[in-house]
Amino acid sequence: MSSELERVVTVVPEAGLHARPAATFVETVTDADSDVQIAHATDDDDDLTPAASMIAVTSLGVEHGEEIRIVADGPDAAATLDALERVLTTPEDELGGENATATDADATTDTNA
Amino acid sequence: MTDTLTRNRIETLAPTDHISLEPPTADKRGYIEFLLDLLVGAGRVEDRETALQALLAREEETTTGVGMGIGIPHAQTDAVTEPSVAVTRSDDGVDFGAMDDEPARLLFMILVPESGADDHLAILSTLSRALMHDEVRQNLYDAETPDDVQAVLKEAVA
């Protein structure tokens, strides 16, 4: 079963969606079974960009406190959004190397949402 | 959302003496030092060692190999006098540890003073957005002189 879900999340890390938070974000996306796209919350659908690409995520220039929109489409869409929201709302100094990567996504929420 | 750069800013950020199409054969660290030395040679860096440590610390956090054959080592450090970009190319590609495993063939260094966080993000995002286009990357591969490279960048950010 495939389902498209989306969520708007405010970016917490001080440096924005950049460096380690960005890398963790992209890793979480690539490890998920869903296709994920992101854009600024104020952007149109046309501006959605592949979230599995580091350069695409970097190109958004997302700053601390900014809202971004995440769209996930696939069997684990809900769990993927939960995992990505966790990455985006964890201050950078609490973002452990392995703690927030996609292995968590598999283990956390159920996928029947 | 961050600002974009204007065409004119490219000339200030990356004058042609920041651009070299004759890099040595080197590993990632070697390329970082090569790009840094372009900025040192152009008089933009007051303290090479401090700048290098800032760049390496940033790589330590996570690689700046952003995929699609692009590496963008960058740092904010007061070792640099003004926002600066250096550019080089690697014909064979250099392993930047990118998630897509593609070796970096286009390399950009961004150094911005500590106070310039917004500028830093604006330069990084503008460059990334431009480099996502196949045509821009191809034009950079095809460029024969630093002037060509600068012209492609000016066109790409406009």
Domains of chain B: 7-157 (3.40.930.10)
Nearest to A54 among B67, B121, B125 (CB): B67
**pLDDT tens per residue, range B103-153:** 999 999 999 999 988 899 999 999 999 999 999 999 999 999 999 999 999
Query: CA dist A14 to A11, A17, B23, B56, B141, Å?
Result: 8, 9, 35, 20, 35
Number of H helices, E strands in chain B: 6, 5
Residues of A in contact with B65 (CB under 8 A): 54
Mean per-residue pLDDT of chain B: 94
Q: What's the rounded Cα separation, in Å, for the pair B11 and A37?
A: 34
Helix (H, G, I), strand (E, B) or coil at B119: helix
Is ipTM strictly over 0.85? Answer: yes
Q: Which two tokens stand for residue B123?
A: 């330069």
Give residue limits of the domains in chain A: 3-107
The four Cα atoms B77, B78, B82, B84 give a dihedral, to 10 degrees, of -30
CB contact at 8 A, B28 and B96: yes
Residue B62 has pLDDT above 50, yes or no: yes
Closest alpha carbon within chain B to A22: B62
pLDDT attached to residue A96: 63
Residues contacting B3, CB < 8 A, separation 6+: B118, B122
Half-sphere exposure of B112 (CA within 13 A, CB side): 16
Average pLDDT over residues A47-64: 94
Element (DSSP H or E) covering residue A36: strand A35-40
Helix (H, G, I), strand (E, B) or coil at B47: coil
Residue A104 has pLDDT above 80, yes or no: no
- B57 touching chain A per CB within 8 A: no
pLDDT attached to residue A2: 60
pLDDT band with cut points at 50, 70 and 90 for residue A68 = very high
Known catalytic residue: A64?
no
Helix (H, G, I), strand (E, B) or coil at A3: strand
The residue among A105, A22, A30, A6 whose CA lies nearest residue A63 is A22
**pLDDT tens per residue, range B68-93:** 999 999 999 999 999 999 999 999 99
- Domain A3-107 CATH superfamily: HPr-like (3.30.1340.10)
